[in-house]
Amino acid sequence: MRRILIVGNWKMNKTATEAAAFVHNVARRLPASPTVEYVLAPPFTAIESVRATLGSSSTIQLGAQNLFWEDRGAYTGEISAPMLKDLGCRYVIIGHSERRTLFGEREDAIQKKLHAAFTHELRPILCIGESLLQREEGKTEEVLRQQLHGALAGHSLHSVTALTIAYEPVWAIGTGKAATTDQAVAAHRTIRAFLAQMWSTDVAEATRILYGGSVTPHNIDTLLRSDQIDGALIGGACLQADAFVTIADIAQSIGARQ
Ligand code: PGA
């Protein structure tokens, strides 16, 4: 069974104080669910205040938006996996398209970050997705396979059990123009086929594949109705408490994948 995973990626939004107020409002409105997991990924500076506000028994889990692959040392400005673990993070987003395009993150860095996450038992959410030009040129499948190969080659079967993949077409992120369910499903099938080929059908069936890019309370239902879409990585809509709660409610009404 694949539990639905709803991940809020706050990007560079909310101070520690604003983040605490948000989760104070939202946490009590999200009942525990056997079929849905919720994760919030605040900026590093707000992780501690979110953790303190949620307390130890919350239904919302903590994630980070990035990490650096070394554990410690002279890497000014970076944050390591042990630091995130110590703050109570369970998940970490890796290879988001904004990191790739704005900060020049390349495959070798993404591979090392995944390795660090696996080593420290953080669950990585690996983001991949094609640009508009790549889609228009009919290269979507090829790009997804290249990105998967670039990030995952060299990782053992044992480690990938904790992996989640987020399909996020670059043209859909923050644009208000989400992929259609058919487009997302086609990409998810490509990803699952790659995982089956690289490891096994069991791994492919067990790995959660999320969709991300302009997900809102209005389109989440249609997306999650497909059993190929195991959840969502959500930016803008997760900054508003009511929208986050509505999305969570809809996810709960749908349930898990068999
Ligand atoms: P969006 O962002 O929901 O605002 O499009 C998604 C993401 O970047 O993960």
User: Between the CA of residue 100 and those of 53, 104, 129, 226, 236, what are the distances in Å?
Assistant: 32, 5, 11, 29, 19
- Give the distance (Å) from ligand 1 centre to CA of residue 242: 17
Say yes or no to pLDDT of 39 above 90: yes
Tokens 């970076």 belong to 78
Give the active site residue among 98, 130, 168, 188.
168
Q: Are 221 and 201 in contact (CB under 8 A)?
A: no
- Model-wide pTM > 0.95: yes
What tens digit of pLDDT does each residue of 213-233 get?
Answer: 999 999 999 999 999 999 999
- Helix, coil or strand: residue 94: strand
pLDDT at residue 32 in the model = 86
Share of the chain above pLDDT 70, in %: 99
- Contacts of residue 45, Cβ cutoff 8 Å, sequence gap at least 6: 15, 16
1: buried, middle or exposed (CB in 10 Å: 19+, 13-18, 0-12)?
exposed
- Taking domain 4-77+107-257, whether its CATH number is 1.20.1260.10 is answered by no
Indicate the top mutation candidate among 168, 223, 239, 247 to test ligand 1's pocket, ranked by most ligand atoms within 8 A of CB: 168
pLDDT at residue 258 in the model = 63
| Least confident window among 34-43, 73-82, 88-97, 248-257 | 248-257
Give the active site residue among 96, 98, 105, 120.
96
pLDDT at residue 173 in the model = 97
- Give the distance (Å) from ligand 1 centre to CA of residue 164: 16
Say yes or no to pLDDT of 180 above 90: yes
Indicate the top mutation candidate among 100, 218, 234, 247 to test ligand 1's pocket, ranked by most ligand atoms within 8 A of CB: 234
Q: How far is CA 119 from the centre of its chain?
A: 18
* Residue 175 DSSP label: T
State yes or no: is 155 an active-site residue: no
Phi and psi dihedrals of 72, rounded to 5? Answer: -165, 170
Q: DSSP labels for 198-235?
A: HT-HHHHHHSEEEEESS--TTTHHHHHHSTT--EEEES
- Contacts of residue 240, Cβ cutoff 8 Å, sequence gap at least 6: none
